[in-house]
Amino acid sequence: MSEEALSSPYRRVLLKLSGECFRGRLDYGLDAETVDRIADEVRQALDYDLELAIVVGGGNIWRGHEAAEQGMDRAAADYAGMVATVINALRLQDALEKLGIETRVQTAIEMREVAEPFIRRRAIRHLEKGRVVIFAGGTGNPFFTTDTAAVLRANEIGAEMILKATNVDGVYDQDPRQHPEARRYERLTYLDVLSQGLKVMDSTAISLSMDTDLPIIVFDVTVPGNIVRVLRGESIGTFVGGSQSPEG
């Protein structure tokens, strides 16, 4: 292990990848180049001697709330979305294992032919053995987002931080793609996010993070190298937490 590997401030981290992270330049589906780049950044991140779990979304394939708006039963639509996250998880697993990284996919809904069911102690054991654990299937319940699943899993495995990968460089007071004058926040409290209705995570996820004092860093995953930078402790994106800074 190199000396640089000791520089990460984290021991165990959960990375949240939305479905949009897999879409890349496409309007729909999985962009192979983008998935392979993310996998390579995960490989580099593991050089920092930390344990890494990943929660994947499925919005690049299916959005349950949109299907529900079109008349589909909401619970059924959300279950279909859980299946979409498994597709992304298996694609990411394939990309990681081609780089020599040992992985396990665990799902909240059973698909034993392709993945393990989520078992907390088994997931922790995989992490302790240096495997990347990819959580799919959300929480296994309709009406909950994969952001909430990320906070739930992070707490269950004892992660110190959630890294929420997005396609913008942090949290803004309004959509920077529509409002060039939008202001980016470097730091927010959980109550700031809830009271101002900021688009970080849904309110259930933020409330659970606040209850357990689990910090979140929102950063731009479309910039090559940012996964490694944030895991190295560089100040990028927006930090969401309690009254203390990420450095303590």
Domain ranges, ordered by start, for the chain: 3-241
Residue 3: per-residue pLDDT: 44
Rg (CA), the chain: 17
Label residue 171 exposed, middle or buried (CB < 10 Å: 0-12, 13-18, 19+). buried
As a whole number of angstroms, the distance between CA 149 and CA 195 comes to 22
233: left (phi over 0), alpha (psi -120 to 50) or beta: left
Residue 247: per-residue pLDDT: 46
Q: Could you give the C-alpha distances from 180 to 25, 76, 117, 193, in angstroms and in order? A: 22, 39, 45, 21
Tell me the angle at which helices 146-157 and 120-128 cross, rounded to the nearest 10 degrees: 70
- The backbone torsions φ and ψ at residue 184, rounded to the nearest 5 degrees and listed phi first, read -90, 135
Q: Three-state SS string across the chain, please?
A: CCHHHHHCCCCEEEEEECHHHHHCCCCCCCCHHHHHHHHHHHHHHHHHCCEEEEEECCCCCCCHHHHHHCCCCHHHHHHHHHHHHHHHHHHHHHHHHCCCCCEEEEECCCCCCCCEECCHHHHHHHHHCCCEEEEECCCCCCCCCHHHHHHHHHHHHCCCEEEEEECCCCEECCCCCCCCCCCEECEEEHHHHHHHCCCCCCHHHHHHHHHHCCCEEEEECCCCCHHHHHHCCCCCCEEEECCCCCCC
Q: Considering the domain 3-241, what is its CATH architecture?
A: 3-Layer(aba) Sandwich (3.40)
- Low-confidence stretches of the chain (pLDDT < 50) are 1-6, 244-248
Closest CA to 56 of 92, 13, 18: 18
Say what the pTM is: 0.92
Work out whether strand 161-166 and strand 216-220 pair parallel, antiparallel, or are unpaired: parallel
Q: Is-contact 136 85, C-beta < 8 A? A: yes
As a whole number of angstroms, the distance between CA 60 and CA 27 comes to 8
Residue 5: per-residue pLDDT: 42
